[in-house]
Amino acid sequence: MASSGAVELAPAAQDETLIVQKDLASLSGFYLAARQAGISKDLSAAAGFYASALQADPDNAELLDRSVLLNIASGNIAKAAELAEPLLEIEPDDQLALLASGVASFRAGDTEAALAHTQALRDLGGPLQALVGSLLQAWTIAGDGRPAEAIKLLDDLEGPIWIDPFKKIHAGLIADQFNLYEISEDRLRLAYEQDATDVRLVEAYARTLARAGKTDRAVAVLDALAEQVPAIVKLIDPVRTAVAGDGEVAPLADNARAGMAEALYSLGRGIGSNDTTLSASLLQLSLYLRPEADFPAMALGGILEGMRQHEAAILVYSSIPQDTPLYREAQVQEALNLNVLERHEEAIAALKSLLANDPSDVQVALALGNVYRQLEDFKQAGEIYTASIDNLGTVPEEYWTLYYYRGIANERTDNWKGAEADFRKALELSPEHPLVLNYLGYSYIDRGENLDEAVSMVQRAVKQQPDDGYIVDSLGWAYYRLGRYEDAVEQLERAVSLRAGDPVINDHLGDAYWKVGRKLEAMFQWNHARDSDPEPDDLQRILTKLAVGLDAADAAPHKATAVAEDTGAEPEPATAQ
Question: Average pLDDT for residues 125-149, to the nearest whole number?
Answer: 96
Element (H, E) at 10: none
The reported pTM is 0.80
Mean pLDDT of 210-222: 95
> Pick from 506, 512, 508, 455: which is nearest to 487 by CA?
512
User: 3-class DSSP state for residue 393?
Assistant: coil
Q: What is the CATH number assigned to the segment(s) 256-330?
A: 1.25.40
Same CATH topology for 256-330 and 432-577? yes
Alpha-carbon gap, residue 149 to 138, rounded angstroms: 8
Distance separating alpha carbons of residues 31 and 9, to the nearest angstrom: 21
The rounded distance, in Å, linking the Cα atoms of 420 and 102 is: 60
Across 55-69, 74-88, 260-274, 375-389, least confident range: 55-69
Outline where DSSP puts E strands in 425-533. Answer: none
Q: What is the pLDDT of residue 232?
A: 81
- Residue spans per domain, the chain: 161-254, 256-330, 432-577
3-state secondary structure of 254: coil
Share of the chain above pLDDT 90, in %: 69
Q: What mean pLDDT is predicted for residues 284-290?
A: 95
Tell me the β-bridge partners of 560.
Answer: 576
pLDDT (average), residues 522-548: 93
Strand partners, 561: 575
Kindly state the average pLDDT of the residues 280-309: 92
Phi, psi of 278 (to 5 degrees): -65, -40
CA distance 127 to 161: 10
Determine the Cα–Cα distance for residues 341 and 576; give it in Å rounded to an integer. Answer: 26
Calculate mean pLDDT across residues 40-68: 63
Q: Residue 484: what pLDDT?
A: 94
Q: Tell me which of 38-42, 146-150, 242-246, 503-507 is least confident.
A: 38-42
Report the top-level CATH class of 161-254: mainly alpha
Quickly count helices (H) and strands (E) in the chain: 32, 2
Mean pLDDT of 355-363: 93
Q: State the fold for domain 432-577.
A: 1.25.40
- Residue 478, helix vs strand vs coil: helix
Report d(CA 45, CA 378) in Å as an integer: 39
Could you tell me how many residues make up the chain?
Answer: 577
Mean pLDDT of 332-336: 96
**Measured on CA atoms in the order 294, 296, 297, 301, is the torsion positive or negative?**
positive
Q: What pLDDT score was predicted for residue 53?
A: 57
Give the model's pLDDT for residue 34.
Answer: 36
pLDDT tier for residue 448 given thresholds of 50, 70 and 90: confident
